[in-house]
Each structure stands twice: as structure tokens, then as C-alpha cells.
Structure 1
């Protein structure tokens, strides 16, 4: 179920680095000490996303990984988007180096 604008803003307040994009996406940039840590991060969040059957857009720019997520069926953001964003942050904390 699609979240209201107020719900989105409330959830974003508790999430460091995530921002609302075009009122439909949440996005975050992750920096790594080296290229391969970034690739490992992508591999791990891809596995989490595949398990949830909910896939983000991922951009790899050397040591900078950008993740952007939304729910196509809901035509906006859902709780699942925010749950996955928190899981991505947990992966980052483990492997950022």
C-alpha cells in the first residue's frame, strides 16, 4: 500500500542520508574505501532485494554506489521500500571499511 506524503516524511527523518526524489523514490549514495568493497555491497543488497522480490536501481561509479528504490505497483513508496533501505544501511555498516 502506498504511503502518504506525511508517512514518507516521517520515515525519512529517521534515515540518515536517504532523500526523496521526484516524490516517488528514495535514494542514497554510499561511499567506499575501494572499488571491490562497493561491488561486494552491491552483491549483498542484490541478494536481499532478490529474496524480497523488490529491486532497486543501482548505479556504480567507481567507489560511489547510488541506490534508488520505489514500488512500481503502488506507484510510489511503500513500507517495503523503507524496510529494504534500512537493510541496505546495515550491509553498508558491516562492509564499508
Structure 2
């Protein structure tokens, strides 16, 4: 029964991360933090589910490698955006 509660908590974390991702889209840093929060909640959901069915947890290591690559790519985009534009507002771009 506690596994069901844990899954609900992690699903709630996922929903909250998506709400923050959709509503706070002015700053790139907040968007990246909400994406990392979503990845963290997905990691916990996968960890509970894979341990519940007694499956090998090797897939979690692959998932963590891809999430670290995603985080470092987002951070490098943030740094290059701040160097070129001076801030992380999406409104400062000119998409022409």
C-alpha cells in the first residue's frame, strides 16, 4: 500500500513540474529547473516501478546519463544566451 502512495506522490511531483514548466516561461533558468524536476520525478517513478516488478535497475543508470547530458546542454545554452544577450529572458530574442 505504501508503494501506491509513493507513486501518487511522484506523479504529483511530475504534474507540479509540468505546471511550472507551462506557467513560468519568461526565464530560461526556471524552465530548465522545472525540466530537471520533471526528470527527477520520472526517475523516482521508474525506480519504484522497476523495484516493484523486481527488474534490473540498469535502465536507471542509462536514464541518469541522458538526464545529465540534457542538464549540461541546457546549462551551456543558458550560459551562451547570457553572454550574448545579457539576461535569460525569452522576450529579449528577436526571432527574425
- TM-score of the two chains, using structure 1 as the length reference: 0.34
- TM-score of the two chains, using structure 2 as the length reference: 0.34
Structure with bigger gyration radius:
2
- Tell me: higher relative CO, structure 1 or 2? Use CA pairs within 8 A at least 6 residues apart: 1
Q: Which protein is richer in strand relative to its size?
A: 1
